[in-house]
Amino acid sequence: MSDEQTGGKSHMADAAIRIEGLRKTYRGGKGQPEKQALKGIDLTIPRGSVFGLLGPNGAGKSTLINILAGLVVKSAGSVSIWGFDQDRNPRQSRASIGVMPQELNLDPFFTPRGALEVQAGLYGVPKAQRRSDEILELVGLRDKAEAYARTLSGGMRRRLLLAKALVHHPKILVLDEPTAGVDIELRQMLWTNVRKLNERGMTIILTTHYLEEAQEMCDEIAIINHGEKVTQDSTSNLLSRMDSRTMVIVPDGPISDLPATDGVEATLRDDGNLVLQYRSTLTSAERVLEAVRSANIRIRDVRTEEADLEDVFLELTSSRAEDLLAGDQDQPHRGMHRVKL
């Protein structure tokens, strides 16, 4: 028996999921050409991490997740989940992963407790090992355990989806757009639960529209576009790739002349604040301030802004940047960037 099957000390031991050469081609219909949804993706997701999987609409994220969940059959490549090869050990690999889908696919005539018991039965979890009430407590549905699912609010139904994904005690939890359309209270509750699960050793895979959310939660991020992996790195390393900086000056009086120096782009906002954009690898903040002083601008206040994950995303998927910026501008709460992915 191989190390992969025994869980011995092998190169697989540090990987929750290992994907090599993953391809998926959908047949075209009625004279249409085939569609390559995934074009040979290699991806390694570390055990115990909170891993972000980001990409524009149509990038292949849903296809990849559905392959992991066993809902879509791959065209080529290999997938190993918690050391179990998906082709050789399909039951063990499927039992190692739980998926909270984006769609609210609940039977309206089941109670939350009943839904969890049925789900546990489908996974072959013995009654002595079922923790339905504990899971309902975790997601804040203990008091709704016997209410019909059709009477639950949208937020409560999302909590039930999370609960269903946990019934078989998976090592890996996939959250597919878990906070889409939910209120702030539910979002905070969800992330509190995710942190608890991760602290207990569960690997979390997250896809999300909200890039600030991914930036805050994820240890590591992969970005895919047009069925190919664009990059994979730690969140801190991805952010450090962007050396653009923005300095905002609140002047103590009107500005007559804009600062002029190489490597600095100066603009004046309608509110009278001066915005200076520069690259930290080419120009220092001190040099920018010297240019401001040379223009006889008195400073009342100053702040600097660094690139965030949204900037990195747009930089790495620049062919789609115009579409992204033209997308849904609705922001669910202040300070949260929403990019249509």
**Which of 36, 47, 62 has its CA nearest to residue 207?**
62
Domains of the chain, start order:
3-96+170-238 (3.40.50.300), 243-306 (3.30.70)
| Distance (Å, whole) CA 288 – CA 21 | 47
Specify the pTM: 0.73
Of the pLDDT bands very low, low, confident and very high (cuts 50, 70, 90), residue 243 is low
Least confident among 106-110, 175-179, 316-320? 316-320
Segment of 2-6, 246-250, 312-316, 333-337 carrying the highest mean pLDDT: 246-250
Of the pLDDT bands very low, low, confident and very high (cuts 50, 70, 90), residue 13 is low
Of the pLDDT bands very low, low, confident and very high (cuts 50, 70, 90), residue 325 is very low
pLDDT for 333 equals 35
Segment of 219-228, 234-243, 319-328 carrying the highest mean pLDDT: 219-228
Residue 6 has pLDDT above 70, yes or no: no
pLDDT for 242 equals 66
| Count of C-beta atoms within a 10 Å radius of residue 158 | 24
281 neighbors 244 (Cβ within 8 angstroms): no
pLDDT for 228 equals 93
Least confident among 127-131, 142-146, 296-300, 310-314? 310-314
Residue 338 has pLDDT above 70, yes or no: no
**Residues 264-277: pLDDT tens digits?**
889 998 888 999 98
How far is the CA of 333 from the CAs of 102, 182, 184, 206, 307, in angstroms? Answer: 20, 11, 8, 20, 20
| Count of C-beta atoms within a 10 Å radius of residue 105 | 9
| Distance (Å, whole) CA 112 – CA 106 | 10
pLDDT for 341 equals 36
Strand duo 228-234 + 220-225: pairing: antiparallel
Of the pLDDT bands very low, low, confident and very high (cuts 50, 70, 90), residue 327 is very low
**Residues 57-102: pLDDT tens digits?**
888 999 999 999 999 999 999 999 999 999 999 999 999 999 998 8
Of the pLDDT bands very low, low, confident and very high (cuts 50, 70, 90), residue 227 is very high
pLDDT for 307 equals 65
Task: Work out the mean pLDDT of the chain and round it to a whole number.
Answer: 84
Of the pLDDT bands very low, low, confident and very high (cuts 50, 70, 90), residue 308 is low
Residue 281 has pLDDT above 50, yes or no: yes
